[in-house]
Amino acid sequence: MAAGAASVIGWVEVQPSAKGRDHITLRGHVLALTDAAGRFTLALTRSSKGGKSETKQGGEFKLQAGESQPLSTTTINLDEKDQLTVVLSISVDGIEVFSTTLRTL
């Protein structure tokens, strides 16, 4: 399947975590508008007074048109002064077809 024939969109879900009030759970999702198979990465960068940490998760997906699925889930602690950047990238046939970025200020 050519990358141009596949149409997907994604989003990042953010929820409080049961681990405590300073923890959040982030989950990447994909929705196939046409039959699609590919790879994804969910990259997080957190900057705090203690330094910078980076996490990257990835994998494969295969969906039929109209299907969605969660891709990756991670829970992190986040202080009110921390800065967080989350990037979800989705590729089909080695070509990035969707990307979204979530940032705290």
| CATH value at residue 80 | 2.60.40.2420
Q: Which of 56, 62, 64 is nearest to 88 (CA)?
A: 56
pTM: 0.86
What value does the mean pLDDT take over residues 13-40?
92
Give yes or no for residue 30 having a pLDDT over 70. yes
Query: What pLDDT is stored for residue 18 in this prediction?
Result: 82
**CA distances from residue 27 to 2, 23, 34, 50, 80 in whole angstroms, order as listed:** 27, 13, 22, 25, 20
* Model confidence pLDDT, tens digit, residues 73-92: 999 988 888 899 999 999 99
Structural domain span for residue 26: 3-103
Q: What is the DSSP letter of 78?
A: -
Number of domains composing the chain: 1
Query: What pLDDT is stored for residue 6 in this prediction?
Result: 60
